[in-house]
């Protein structure tokens, strides 16, 4: 589906690489990069090129720059639990997903952890739109810290260059729920889409490239009345948080989540051509740290017993704020929601964090789907896997109760 193609607004500006750059990569990565792509459109890369690139976007000298997200000195534990007995063939599932990593954490214990595509726990894989849910959590932190006064504040209250545009009518809440009503086309196959036009847009002097483009867009529907997926607007959310906190987004992420949640490795965040973290995409992190993020959210994002977000944040953020024309599904604050109370972060080509609060369950996955960015067959299989894990947990609980 068109709205799931979110990924690379202003991501890749490709130029010639240098021999020094190649030699700076580890031996394993250099082996995968023998045929690395030389064009900017990930949707048209070959499968082998994606296998190489998704593990190394932040280390390639001919791609966009990045900022480091420092981790702390004390990783939070992910103790092993007993192996989870699943009613399906995990190896076959991973092959069908072209899975790079798969983790199931139940009640804080690792019940399953496997890797593929030559990837392992030491590597970092790009998030694609999984970053949207992380950016959303930083909005909650900024509200809690007093940097953002209200979710009903207008976007132009924080990004002055937006004054006089259609965003004068758009609240931060509407930006997060993708109900701004601003006209936007995210069809990567359409050369006249906003994604294509933005990549060729020359920003006005002294204005962020994204702001320069978005402030000229017309209104397509009244604010709050229509859901329309827009990675460009999630990138705008990142700019808003940076303006409100007066900090780079990567620094605020380290301060509010990466260090207190006990991430094991530093992460990196790819920058736009005007030096802003691309907040709708492109956070490189270890799969175990994506799982830790899911566990952090599951536990209420608490640090020393105090949540980093307002008390009512997650009940709003992780339940449907708007419909998406799929029965039983919805969209919260940059989280995909299910009517049974579960929710997920999702990125193209099979990246995901699935969270089930009732079962105390987190499933983190990284992949390179073989049939394209949205791959409906692989997507459906992943939903079946989620259900299989839930059933296995329920069967264990029932067996334990009967003893």
pTM over 0.85: yes
Domain boundaries, the chain: 2-402
CATH architecture of 2-402: 3-Layer(aba) Sandwich (3.40)
For tokens 């995968």, what's the residue?
32
Q: What's the per-residue H, E or C state across 262-313?
A: CCCCCEEEEECCCCCECCCCCEEECHHHHHHHHHHHHCCCEECCEECCCCCH
Task: Work out the average pLDDT over 20-39.
Answer: 51
Task: Read off the pLDDT band of 233 (50, 70, 90).
Answer: very high
The rounded radius of gyration (Å) of the Cα atoms in the chain is 20
Q: What is the pLDDT of residues 289-313, one digit of tens each?
A: 999 999 999 999 999 999 999 999 9
Q: What is the pLDDT of residues 31-77, one digit of tens each?
A: 555 556 555 667 788 999 899 999 998 987 666 699 999 999 999 99
In whole angstroms, what is the distance from residue 270 CA to residue 282 CA? 6
Tokens read off for 177: 């729920």
Backbone angles phi, psi at 232, to 5 degrees: -55, -40
- Exposure string over 361-374, b if 16+ CB within 10 A, otherwise e: bbbbbbbbbbeebb
Task: Read off the pLDDT band of 199 (50, 70, 90).
Answer: confident
Distance of CA 94 to the CA centre of its chain: 21
Map residue 219 onto helix, strand or coil: strand
CB-CB contact of 381 with 159 (8 Å): no
Answer whether residue 30 shows pLDDT above 70: no
């Amino acid at each position: 589906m068109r709205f799931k193609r979110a990924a690379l607004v202003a991501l890749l500006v490709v130029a010639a690489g240098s021999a020094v750059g190649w030699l700076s990569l580890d031996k394993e990565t250099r082996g995968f990069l023998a045929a690395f792509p030389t064009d900017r459109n990930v949707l048209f890369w070959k499968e082998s090129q994606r296998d190489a690139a998704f593990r190394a976007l932040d280390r390639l000298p001919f791609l966009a720059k990045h900022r480091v997200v420092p981790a702390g000195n004390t990783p939070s534990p992910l103790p092993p639990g007993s192996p989870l007995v699943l009613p399906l063939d995990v190896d076959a599932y991973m092959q069908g997903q072209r899975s790079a990593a798969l983790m199931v954490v139940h009640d804080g214990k690792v019940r399953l952890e496997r890797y593929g595509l030559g990837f392992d726990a030491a590597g970092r894989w790009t998030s694609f739109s999984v970053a949207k849910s992380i950016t959303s959590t930083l909005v909650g932190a900024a509200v809690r810290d007093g940097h953002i006064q209200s979710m009903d504040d207008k976007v132009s209250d924080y990004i002055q260059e937006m004054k006089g545009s259609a965003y004068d009518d758009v609240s931060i809440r509407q930006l997060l729920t993708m109900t701004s009503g601003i006209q936007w086309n995210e069809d990567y196959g359409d050369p006249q889409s906003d994604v294509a036009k933005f990549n060729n847009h020359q920003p006005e002097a002294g204005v962020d490239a994204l702001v320069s483009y978005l402030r000229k867009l017309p209104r397509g529907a009244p604010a709050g009345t229509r859901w329309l997926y827009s990675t460009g607007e999630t990138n705008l959310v990142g700019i808003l948080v940076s303006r409100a906190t007066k900090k780079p987004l990567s620094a605020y992420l380290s301060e509010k989540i990466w260090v207190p949640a006990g991430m094991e490795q530093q992460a990196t965040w790819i920058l736009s051509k005007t030096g802003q973290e691309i907040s709708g995409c492109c956070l490189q992190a270890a799969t175990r740290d994506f799982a830790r993020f899911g566990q952090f959210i599951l536990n209420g994002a608490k640090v020393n017993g105090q949540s980093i977000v307002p008390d009512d944040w997650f009940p709003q953020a992780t339940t449907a704020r708007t419909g998406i024309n799929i029965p039983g599904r919805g969209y919260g604050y940059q989280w995909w929601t299910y009517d049974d109370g579960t929710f997920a972060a999702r990125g193209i080509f099979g990246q995901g964090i699935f969270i089930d609060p009732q079962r105390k369950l987190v499933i983190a996955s990284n992949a390179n789907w073989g049939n394209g960015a949205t791959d409906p067959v692989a997507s459906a299989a992943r939903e079946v896997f989620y259900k299989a894990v839930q059933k296995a947990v329920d069967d264990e609980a029932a067996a334990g109760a009967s003893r």
